[in-house]
Amino acid sequence: MRIPFTKMHGAGNDFIVVDDREGAFPLSDKEFIRRISARRTGIGCDGILLVQPSETAGLRMRFINPDGGEQAMCGNGARCFARWVCDRKLAQASMAFETGAGLVEAEVSGMQVRIGLTAPKDARLDMELDCPWPVDFVDTGVPHAVAWVPDVGAVDLSHWGRLLRHHSRFAPNGTNANFARVEEDGSLAVRTYERGVEAETLACGTGAAAAAVLASMRGWVSLPVTVHCAGGHDLVIETLLGRTTLAGGAAYVFDGEVEYGDRV
């Protein structure tokens, strides 16, 4: 079976998008998912986006991590999903679709896509953890710890990201780990160690939103706020009609096909 796909990225966060409206994608084959997600020997991605039918909305986005596990939500993934379905006339430029975290509203304008995030919940400030910096927590569709550091570029993410991601305070499922700084102009710089990827990603939409929401709660910034991601792209977090939104570019990289059941 040959599986057509589109490679996309949102602010450097990259995805394999698959039209799975027929339900043929081998979702239970985690080894296959790991192979096609691998950067050196496969297509390479931070996650797989499955376009599926929905009983509550026109379409459903399933987000699969490179390790084969499923996440409820991915902000940059949702923005790429929205552009993909809009460009193929499967949805209007203003749309709503189902995710594991609930209904997501999106608006596509060329390469730019804005989505509404689920309401932040479970916010906790100044958690006492085994970490040399202040750490906050909030769930913006998926859980995020945010450590406030003096220099995001100097953080050893392989060490501190793994420590926060697996910390006992976030058991049993763990958390995404972000390292953020408020810049002099009121913008934020953020690096993210993502759960399921188990490494740093070039951007994380829900992580950028978590940092912006928590910085606002602390009184350090006022929304809207620009978030500078590790890959050199910017995301904008703001509040519209009482809802937190995430906006930025969603770009195509290439189209292809992968053979299921054979080497990648």
What is the chain's pLDDT, residue by residue, as a tens digit (264 residues)?
999 999 999 999 999 999 999 999 999 999 999 999 999 999 999 999 999 999 999 999 999 999 999 999 999 999 999 999 999 999 999 999 999 999 999 999 999 999 999 899 999 999 999 899 999 999 999 999 999 999 999 999 999 999 999 999 999 999 999 999 999 999 999 999 999 999 999 999 999 999 999 999 999 999 999 999 999 999 999 988 788 999 999 999 999 999 997 544
Question: How many Å apart are CA 14 and CA 250, to the nearest integer?
Answer: 10
Query: How many separate domains does the chain show?
Result: 2
Closest CA to 86 of 46, 64, 115: 115
The reported pTM is 0.93
Is residue 264 in a domain? no
Strand extents, DSSP E, 149-249: 176-182, 188-194, 199-201, 225-228, 234-240, 243-249
Q: Give me the residue label for tokens 């972000």.
A: 178
Residues 6 and 105 in one domain: yes
Peptide bond into 132 cis (omega under 30): no
Give yes or no: residues 68 and 110 share one domain.
yes
Do 127 and 66 have their domain in common?
A: no
Q: Tokens 């790429």 correspond to what residue?
A: 80
Q: Which residues are catalytic?
A: 74, 204
Residues 51 and 75: beta-carbon distance below 8 Å: no
Assess contact for 255 and 5: CB atoms under 8 A.
yes
Q: Between helices 205-217 and 75-87, what is the axis angle to 10°?
A: 130
> What residues are paired with 15 via a beta bridge?
8, 47
Domain that includes residue 195, residue range: 121-241
Angle of CA points 248, 95, 190, to nearest 5°: 25
